[in-house]
Structure 1
Amino acid sequence: MFDVILKKGKEKAVVQRHPWLFSGAIERVKGKPANGDIVRLLNDKGDFMAYGFYNSQSRVALRLLEWNESVEIDENWYRKRVAMAVASRSEILNDNNNTCRLIFSEADYLPGLIVDKYADYLAVQVLTSGMEREMPVIIDELQKLLNPVGIFDKSDAASRVHEGLGTINQVLAGQHPPGIVEVVENGIRYGINIAEGQKSGFYCDQRDNRRIVAAHAKGKRVLDCFCYTGGFTLNALKSGALSVTSVDSSALAIETLKTNIGLNKLDISKHTTIQSDVNKQLRALREDGQQFDIVVLDPPKYAPSRSALDKAMRAYKDLNRLGMLLLESGGLLATFSCSGAMDIDTFKQVLAWAALDAGKEVQFIYQFCQPEDHPVRASFPEGEYLKGLLCRVL
């Protein structure tokens, strides 16, 4: 096993069990470990600190796995971690919910591994070279624990290039998922496309938030922006919304949403779909003088890194300003950010600026977060990426 020597004074984060070590904190590397090799991390005095995956191409040069020198990182170590992660989600899965995130990367001590359960299928995303090496063991353990019909590798994230990895879309075990896999979340049925859909096929991180917003929807006019396949839309219609208008730029998402409305036998006369750029459509709705009681804004990640935060703040401000202008006085804005670089206090400030520009007053009445199958590890606050606010706009 190769040794990586830490620069003097760079021990704090490692001691606090943060799982990332950036290349700038490394003094030297003994030997020439390959990308994905497990190495020992030593301090400047030669004392053991941790084991981790090494990658010379990534800015995160080490993904730390284990801080106990006597623990061997072997096949059983990975099997135990997978089993612990799966067991911790057992209470989420029931007749009303057969989809969730089974493994959430660093939060489950398996850096770079994401596994989502969609009914009888599993979708996998591998983001690190070290974890990619261990996939035969991971897949075998998942099969033993869950006996899925199929496991599909959807490792097409752009971040893989930083690990020296290409994109993968292939069956790892069992059957290829059909074009539409039917899942149930909050008692609502969804047809999802694992192989061709966004991310791993579905956004189960909004499960609780969809239910919370829907509790306010009875008799209300709802505008669902960046609706994708209809998470907020379907929950609102089921809860008795007077009308729901759903906007997304993806034709595939809109068609899947229409199919999902049929699956749930919801009143299609109360629903309108618009395939359009959301910002453009918000302006068009404003020009038409339309008003709503609830506006949902669930945009994609505007700030993929801290360097993009200033630009993202401007984008979030403009988006939320437009949303506020479409609300009746006293209406509700359910607004989200999935940018890890945007913390909740910054997001509140952006909304305050948006309200000022819109000539509105805003009350924060609820704070949204990611659900329990997306845990945040105490030593890795970066895992808290999803945040949102339910605002009363006056």
Structure 2
Amino acid sequence: MAKAILHQGKQKRIAGGHPWIYRTEIKEIVGSFEPGDIVEVFDYRDKFVGKGYINPASQITIRIMTRNPLEEVNEEFFRRRITAAWNYRQRVVKDTNSCRVIFGEADFLPALIVDKFGDYLSVQTLALGIDVHKETIIRLLYEIVQPRGIYERNDVTVRKIEGLPLITGFIGEPFDPKVVIHENGLKFVVDLEGGQKTGYFLDQRENRLALQGLVKGGRVLDCFCHTGTFSMYAAKFGAREVLGLDIAASALETARANAQLNGYGDICSFKETNSFDELRAMEKSGEQFELVVLDPPAFTKSKGAVKGAIRGYKEINLRGMKLIPPGGFLVTCSCSYHMKEELFLETVLDAGRDAGRELRLVELRRQAKDHPMLLASPESHYLKCMILQVF
């Protein structure tokens, strides 16, 4: 097994539990290896740090799989890790037949994402070192989770950096990729083949429940509504009218199907539009909503784009606040890891000042429990959800 030796001063973050080792942190590699192989990692004093898979083509050159020098990365290793991940979900996930089964680094299986939608799984292997073991992983998922079928969603551009092709399709026998899932008494259509990410945003499940008690009898605006999940919860919890906005016609088609499926076709309506433009137009026309949801896609995927993201978040929050009567509520989210929680709070506060509104924080929420956060890996904490009362 090849041996990677870290530069002096670069070991603290890694030894502290972070699973990523960047190219610039490696002093030298002793021994031969093939991309995707498991290598041992040592600090500059020759102290063992861990074992991980290596890919020199990636800036994240090594991802740690184990910190036990005696543990081999083989089929039994994957069986233990997948079983542990599945057992954890069975303890913390309630009132749904869908969840994230494996959340990459947070489940000590870097770059592996597995989502369960009803009886089916959606799988992503996002790095060469985990893709090498895909056949073993699929076999174990059938053994441990026992799905009726698996769909591969390896159409993520990060795979190109790893030198991997973009692939989608059934693994094994084909099935209808449009699956109806159950979540907190609601039904949702999930398109494993054509939906965003792996087909559906599971990470907001617990945050959607937080609408209870805030929407009864009110008018609700759901911006960037995608397939209308927040909209369905608003209707379930007693909103008299819900309007969802999104730019994607296909997502809105599913949103309308979800409204019919749950019996809320007369409460929920959807409009194909740019949410930024529509918020400005609604402000000019004097529209009012007792609760506004802002759940946009990530405005930044890099540190260098944070300033632009701040402007985007400030704009939509300012516009959203202006549509809310005094005492109404704003549910505002960011799924950008680089938009840190404290910075997000500051940005929304600035938006409130510019809008001439006072804000009271009701709740500060994060991602659902099936998306646990590894404290040593801040990248695993990406979702922020603020519930504010606006005065």
Could you tell me which residue of structure 1 aligns to residue 244 of structure 2? Answer: 246
SS for the counterpart of 1:329 is coil
CA deviation string 1:182-235 (max 9, x = no partner): 000111001111100111111011111111124311101000011111111001
The yes-or-no answer on 1:210 pairing with 2:184 is no
Aligned with residue 349 of structure 1, among 346, 369, 372: 346
Could you tell me which residue of structure 2 aligns to residue 97 of structure 1? Answer: 96
Q: Which amino acid aligns with 2:356?
A: G
Could you tell me which residue of structure 1 aligns to residue 56 of structure 2? Answer: 56
How far apart, CA to CA, are the structure 2 residues paired with 1:382 and 1:318? 25
Could you tell me which residue of structure 2 aligns to residue 374 of structure 1? Answer: 371
SS for the counterpart of 2:254 is helix
Change (3 A) 1:179 1:73: closer
Could you tell me which residue of structure 2 aligns to residue 142 of structure 1? Answer: 141
How far apart, CA to CA, are the structure 1 residues paired with 2:14 and 2:202? 31
SS for the counterpart of 1:269 is coil
Could you tell me which residue of structure 2 aligns to residue 123 of structure 1? Answer: 122
SS for the counterpart of 1:154 is strand
Q: Which amino acid aligns with 2:319?
A: L
Answer with 120-129 or 83-92: which moved more.
Answer: 83-92
Could you tell me which residue of structure 1 aligns to residue 44 of structure 2? Answer: 44
Q: Which amino acid aligns with 2:247?
A: S
How far apart, CA to CA, are the structure 1 residues paired with 2:212 and 2:57? 45
Could you tell me which residue of structure 2 aligns to residue 65 of structure 1? Answer: 65
Could you tell me which residue of structure 2 aligns to residue 264 of structure 1? Answer: 262
Moved over 4 A (4+): none
SS for the counterpart of 1:90 is helix
CA deviation string 1:121-151 (max 9, x = no partner): 0001111111001111111111011221110
Could you tell me which residue of structure 1 aligns to residue 299 of structure 2? Answer: 302
Q: Which amino acid aligns with 1:262?
A: Q
CA deviation string 1:90-137 (max 9, x = no partner): 13556x410100000000000000000000100011111110011111
Where does 1:127-276 land on structure 2 (aligned, <5 Å)?
127-176=126-175, 178-266=176-264, 268-276=265-273
Q: CA RMSD in A?
A: 1.3
CA deviation string 1:296-329 (max 9, x = no partner): 0000011212121111111111111111111111
Is the 1:149–1:175 Cα contact (8 Å) retained in structure 2? no
Where does 1:10-21 land on structure 2 (aligned, <5 Å)?
10-21=10-21
Is the 2:245–2:273 Cα contact (8 Å) retained in structure 1? yes
Q: Which amino acid aligns with 2:324?
A: L
SS for the counterpart of 1:117 is strand
How far apart, CA to CA, are the structure 1 residues paired with 2:92 and 2:121? 16
How far apart, CA to CA, are the structure 2 residues paired with 1:102 and 1:19? 19
Deviation at 1:61, TM superposition (A): 1.0
How far apart, CA to CA, are the structure 2 residues paired with 1:360 and 1:32? 62
Is the 2:219–2:242 Cα contact (8 Å) retained in structure 1? yes
Deviation at 1:36, TM superposition (A): 1.3
Change (3 A) 1:97 1:328: same
Q: Which amino acid aligns with 2:115?
A: D
Is the 2:259–2:268 Cα contact (8 Å) retained in structure 1? no
How far apart, CA to CA, are the structure 1 residues paired with 2:149 and 2:267? 37
Deviation at 1:44, TM superposition (A): 2.1
Change (3 A) 1:102 1:122: same
How far apart, CA to CA, are the structure 2 residues paired with 1:33 and 1:319? 50
Deviation at 1:359, TM superposition (A): 1.4
SS for the counterpart of 1:151 is strand
CA deviation string 1:332-367 (max 9, x = no partner): 000000011112111110001111111111111111
Deviation at 1:175, TM superposition (A): 2.7
Deviation at 1:38, TM superposition (A): 0.8
How far apart, CA to CA, are the structure 1 residues paired with 2:79 and 2:174? 23
Q: Which amino acid aligns with 1:237?
A: A
Could you tell me which residue of structure 1 aligns to residue 381 of structure 2? Answer: 384
Is the 1:92–1:100 Cα contact (8 Å) retained in structure 2? no
Could you tell me which residue of structure 1 aligns to residue 287 of structure 2? Answer: 290
The yes-or-no answer on 1:106 pairing with 2:116 is no
Give the total of aligned pairs. Answer: 391
How far apart, CA to CA, are the structure 1 residues paired with 2:371 and 2:249? 29
SS for the counterpart of 1:328 is coil
How far apart, CA to CA, are the structure 2 residues paired with 1:185 and 1:36? 38
Is the 1:302–1:339 Cα contact (8 Å) retained in structure 2? yes
User: What TM-score results when the alignment is normalised by the length of structure 1?
Assistant: 0.96
Identity of aligned residues (%): 37
Could you tell me which residue of structure 2 aligns to residue 79 of structure 1? Answer: 79
Is the 2:35–2:56 Cα contact (8 Å) retained in structure 1? yes
CA deviation string 1:150-189 (max 9, x = no partner): 101101112222212221101123333x142100011100
Q: Which amino acid aligns with 1:59?
A: Q
SS for the counterpart of 1:192 is strand
User: What TM-score results when the alignment is normalised by the length of structure 2?
Assistant: 0.97
